[in-house]
Each structure stands twice: as C-alpha cells, then as structure tokens.
Amino acid sequence: MTHRRILLIIGGGIAAYKAIELVRLLRKAGHSVRCVLTRAGEQFVTPLTLAALSENKVYTYLFDLKDEVEMGHIQLSREADLVVVAPATADLLAKMAGGIADDLATTLLLATDKPVLAAPAMNVRMWLHPATQRNVATLRGDGVTVMEPDEGEMACGEYGPGRLPEPEAIKAAIEAALVQGTIVRPLGGQPDFAPSRHRPLYGRRILVTAGPTHEPIDPVRYIANRSSGKQGFAIAAAAAEAGAEVLLVAGPVPLPTPPGVVRVDVETAREMAAEVEAGLPVDAAIMVAAVADWRAADTSAQKIKKDGSGEVPPLALAENPDILASVAKSAKRPPLLVGFAAETNDVIAHAQAKLARKGCDLIVANDVSADPMGGETNRVHIVSKAGIDSWDRLPKEAVARKLMEKIADELNTRVPFADD
C-alpha cells in the first residue's frame, strides 16, 4: 500500500510499552511515524527510544517555543494522514469526548482535521464504568474510530476487557482504515477559515490539475515523470477549505480525494486536456500537473520484445498538447491562470520565460534538484509581470494555504464581487 504519515499519541499506562513495537511495525511497513508522548506516558517509555525507532523527533510539551516556531501544534496535527491514540487511557478518552485541550496531545486531537483511531487500555472496571462508555459512544458518534479492547488478565491482577489490543492488531486496523477509507474524518472538509461567505474563496470556481500523465508505449510500458501529485492535491484541498467549488483533474496517483472536491481521473495528456476544456469556465485555473511533453507516435498493441540482435527498436515521439498555453488562448480563459514550473537549474529565468511563452498570469516555480519530486516540502517562487516573490521552504500543505490567500487577493482585484 502507499506509505502514509501516522501521528501516534502515546498515553500514560503500563500498556505504553506496546507502542514501541507498534512504531517498529509501522516503520517496517514503510510508514512515517511521528510520536507525541504525554507526561504520563514518559513514566513508561522514553522519548529517546521512540525517536530511535521512529527516526523522527518526539514531541512532548505544548509550550515548547522552539517547536512552535519550527512546526506549531496546529501544523503538526494537519501533516498526518491518520492520528492514532495508543494507549488511549480513560483520562485521554474523557478529554477527547469533552473537548479538553490542556496539553500537547489533547490540543492536537482537538485541532486536527484528520481521521482519528483510538486503541483503549485501562482497568476492566474503568472500561465498564458508565462514564467511559458514554465517552466512547460520544467519540464514535463524532466519527472517531474506537477499537474494542482485548479481554484478559490485567497488570493489576483483574480479568476482563480493557487490555490494549496487540500491536499487530492495531497496525492491521490502521492499514485497513487507510486503504479502505473506513475511518470517518470527524472534521473532514471543515474549513480553517471563517464559515460561509466570509471564507476567502466562497462563491469562486477553481480548476486544479495534479499528478503526472502516463503515455503508453505498449500495454506494459509508458512515458511518465516523477510527480507524486501531493502539491496539486494539497492545493485542491486548500481551495475547498477556503470555500471554493473545486474541480480536480488528476493524473494516475494513489492519493485520496480531498473533502469537498470533485475529482476526475485521467491517464494521458490528451485526456487531461479534454477534461480541462470541459471544466471551463472557471474563476481560476491552477495547472499543477506535470504533463508529459511527448507521447509515443504509434502505440504498440503488443508488448515490444527484444529480438536478440542488440538493436534498439525505433520509438517515434509526438508532441503532446500544451494544456496551459491552450487555456491561455481559449475564449473561456479564466480571469486568473496559474502555471507551475519544476526546474533543475536557472529556476527564475526559466519561470520568467515560461510566463511570457505560455501567456499565464502567475508561475509557481520550484527547484526539484533541491526539493525532489514526491517530497513533503517545497520552496517556491511566485513569478509574475510585477516581479518575484520567493517563499521560505514550507510543507506542501502550508504552500497550498498561502497560495490560496494570494489567489483570493488576485481574484478580488481582477473580478470583485458586487456589493450586496
């Protein structure tokens, strides 16, 4: 399966030692794991152990100024694909159900817009107590997945339900949820901006392209590039959060559809061009996709095989449609047209040339030799006729949100709404 980002919150209980094995299993499966350790959890496992196994910094305190400058508790809660609480103690479940945010773990849980899975661990009497059962029912009603605890002998000597599920079972629940989409996102699609008409892109229609295109050579091989689609999908998500009606035309990438976004999947450049044309008119088109410049002129119906002669079979290429330039020349050209440029050298110069050649309004340029395709961060330069605005390196989600602020400002200038 696709490797995903897990934020693991470790509560204070004797079962916390099992979190060490859970981290090991998740890392072995290729997932990225960031650990948040509560003060009570530190009594059972150490940050050093978790850092060594996760190969990531372990977060502990809410009011760590250095971490707030570098990451921020809000950003930390948004960068994961899934938030896992294991062990979820009775205290943590109660705070989650009541919306209490008095430490880093509970603040992250209240601030996140990502799905949450909790694996309970507590004394049998605590688990069966009406207060805990009410809290579990509340959380499930809010869309949080709360696993059933295992039944067995407790560390305290009692017997019954309340044991933390085994790490293998928690890992299986995590992967099943990520693959099958069985976890409900309790805050999925909830905007980070003000509601209704006060959201900066409310009433706007935005078209976003994302991912690579695959141009078939034969039934087995194709021409493509290394685009992961992450930046384009982050931009589509940010536009929806900002209130826009979003159409996402996506190349072949295994990414989930952002909440509130209409998605159309394509494979080739010609398919993408057709869907973009069909999606017009819009207020803004943000062309993030890394479209293949070339395709095979003649696609073989059968797999091309080596014949033992050592000669390379001929591969004639044909130029793909230039989607960005075509939209710029279209009678339905959007008021704001944004292109992307992934460069390996002379980034600014190439971006300025592309801006003039393509006829768009903005070029978002980045150096893929410094920020390889498929990574989690980007350092971009916004190139326009007015000049160049270079941004610091940011997570791709933060780049998307900042770009939406700029696009909202541009649209308010170019096509302002009439006053009510």
Sign of CA dihedral 127, 131, 132, 134: positive
Interstrand relation of 387-390 and 380-384 (parallel, antiparallel or unpaired): antiparallel
Residue given tokens 């290729």 in the structure block: 30
Q: Say whether 156 is catalytic.
A: yes
Residue given tokens 């075509």 in the structure block: 326
Residue 221's nearest CA partner among 289, 305, 291, 319 is: 305
Q: Which amino acid is at 168?
A: E
Residue 72 CB neighbour total at 10 angstroms = 13
Q: Where are the beta strands (DSSP E) in 306-386?
A: 317-319, 336-343, 362-367, 377-378, 380-384
Which strand (E) or helix (H) includes residue 146? Answer: strand 145-146
Cα separations in angstroms, 143 against 117, 182, 187, 188: 9, 10, 9, 10
Cα angle at 327 between 325 and 333, to 5 degrees? 130
Residue 290: DSSP 8-state: B
Q: Which one of 128, 131, 156, 415 is the catalytic residue?
A: 156
SS3 13: coil
Residue 396's nearest CA partner among 191, 255, 246, 225 is: 255
- Give the catalytic positions in this structure: 156
